[in-house]
Amino acid sequence: MKKIRPPQVAGYFYPAEAATLHNEIQRMLSEAKLNKTFDKIIGIVSPHAGYMYSGKTAAFAYNAIKNKDYKTAIVISPSHSEYFPGISIYDGEAYQTPLGIVEIDEDKAQKLVQGSKLIFRGVQGHRREHALEVQIPFLQTVLNDFKIVPIVMGDQSKVFVDELARKLAEVMDDKTIIVASSDLSHFYNSNEANLLDSLVERRINDFDYEKLQQDLDAHRCEACGGGPIVAMMKAAALSNYHKAEVLKRTDSGDVTGDKSEVVGYLSAVVYE
């Protein structure tokens, strides 16, 4: 392979040593017990803070898809480190983590770009982005033989969200899982954060992506990956998936004990 995106936040957001990373993810999965099972899951929402803070919350969503026969994982991330007017699919051949290399699904990547003026192949957004990278070791742990389509949204305005949803619907099938990477509100006290984050939870549970988009635009709630969540839900609706359920919602204060300034997290599934 000529172009592989190497890990950028190993040793920072998650362990850099393969055995330690594997054991840590297995521990979180074992602690994140689900009360029910879901058939025909088309998408999940997963947080992207350091595993210490949000890994167990993420594990609920990954337990829901564990050992299912997905061949492609489309991972959609916000861009934290650079702005660009578009949606960037990595133009290399693979992403690498301490658990190994995951190849890009070239067929689906090309189909997403084809005929779109807003979605392109490039390195924009992929150079240092943690929100996409931290999902991959979880996928490597719960899935077997799969490829990825790594997508970073440089702009989450409605025109970009709608375009991504439209193109996702063209490539979705029962062998494809979409991962929307997002945290929730940042640096409010836990009571204020709960008011904001509970609105995101309600919109997801109600499968009301239009109101979620409106709430995000009006700053009635916060989600740094709101665009990925709405795009995934809208694509699901276009493909006749109309159910969603939040599996777990937490904040960083649940780990640190400091409730004066927290970051919110949730995991969810979208299913038939």
Say how far apart CA 83 and CA 241 lie, in whole Å: 31
pLDDT given at position 154: 98
In this prediction, residue 147 has a pLDDT band, given cuts at 50, 70 and 90, of: very high
Mean pLDDT computed over every residue of the chain: 97
Q: What are phi and psi of 196, to 5 degrees?
A: -70, -45
Beta 186-188 vs 262-271: how paired, if at all?
antiparallel
Residue 68 token pair: 């299912």
Residues 6+ apart with CB under 8 A from 230: 161, 165, 209, 212, 213, 216
Angle at 148 between CA 15 and CA 17, to 5 degrees: 15
Where in the sequence is the domain holding 104, given as residue range(s)? 4-271
Q: Give residue-wise pLDDT tens across range 69-126.
A: 999 999 999 999 999 999 999 999 999 999 999 999 999 999 999 999 999 999 999 9
Number of compact structural domains in the chain: 1
In this model, does residue 1 exceed pLDDT 80? no
| Helices vs. strands in the chain: H and E counts, helices first | 10, 12
- pLDDT class of 2 with cuts at 50, 70, 90: confident
Residue 39: its pLDDT value, please?
A: 87
Count CA within 13 A, CB hemisphere, residue 108: 25
User: Environment class of residue 230 by beta-carbon count within 10 Å: exposed (0-12), middle (13-18) or buried (19+)?
Assistant: buried
pLDDT, residue 196, reads 98
pTM, entire model: 0.98
Tokens of 122: 């490039």
Task: Report which of 219, 150, 212 is spatially closest to residue 181, judged by C-alpha positions.
Answer: 150
Q: Which alpha helices (H) appear in the chain, and where do they start and end?
A: 18-31, 56-64, 106-113, 130-133, 135-142, 158-171, 190-205, 209-217, 226-238, 253-256
Read off the CATH number of the domain in which 248 is found.
Answer: 3.40.830.10
pLDDT (0 to 100) of residue 51: 98
Measured CA to CA, the distance from residue 262 to residue 178 in angstroms comes to 27
What are the tens digits of pLDDT across the range 46-59? 999 999 999 999 99
